[in-house]
């Protein structure tokens, strides 16, 4: 039984890089990988799909943090500062 060949072609690698550039919000990276993919013959439709997948992946953490903010702001009144805020929102902040 033979090993299946790798799906990671240069074109697929460029599509992955396009998605990563979108996720990282790096316009110079996107332009570079767009040009490289175009030179390899990757279709605009495939590049659009890579962008759409990246946007969907990137939207999830954004949506989750907005939900957390809405939750915390709804539960924590103006008096909820410092330790009170942490108790209302769950502790473990970044600052």
Q: Identify the DSSP state of 72.
A: H
Q: With a cut of 70, say whether residue 85 has pLDDT above it.
A: no
Residue range 4-17, pLDDT digits in tens: 789 999 999 999 99
Number of CB atoms found within 10 A of residue 86's CB: 15
Under CATH, which number does the domain 10-89 receive?
1.20.1290.10
* Separation of alpha carbons 58 and 23, rounded Å: 6
Rounded to 10°, the helix 44-75/10-23 angle is 30
pLDDT band at 95 (very low <50, low <70, confident <90, very high): low
Paired tokens of 58: 């990137």
Share of the chain above pLDDT 90, in %: 68
Per-residue model confidence (pLDDT) at position 5 = 85
Count of CA atoms in the C-beta half-sphere (13 A) of 24 = 12
Q: What is the mean pLDDT of the chain?
A: 86
**What proportion of the chain, given as a percentage, has pLDDT over 70?**
76
User: CA-CA distance, 13 to 6, in Å (whole number)?
Assistant: 12
Is the pLDDT at 39 greater than 70? The verdict is yes
Q: Residue 42 in contact with residue 14, Cβ under 8 Å? A: yes
pLDDT bracket for residue 43 (50, 70, 90): very high
């Amino acid at each position: 039984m033979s090993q299946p060949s790798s799906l990671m072609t240069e074109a697929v690698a460029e599509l992955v890089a396009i998605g990563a550039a979108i996720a990282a919000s790096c316009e110079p990276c996107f332009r570079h990988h767009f040009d490289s993919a175009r030179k390899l013959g990757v279709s605009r439709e495939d590049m659009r799909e890579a962008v759409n997948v990246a946007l969907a992946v990137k939207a999830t953490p954004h949506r989750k943090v907005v939900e957390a903010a809405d939750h915390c702001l709804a539960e924590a009144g103006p008096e909820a500062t410092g330790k009170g805020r942490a108790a209302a929102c769950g502790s473990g902040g970044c600052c």
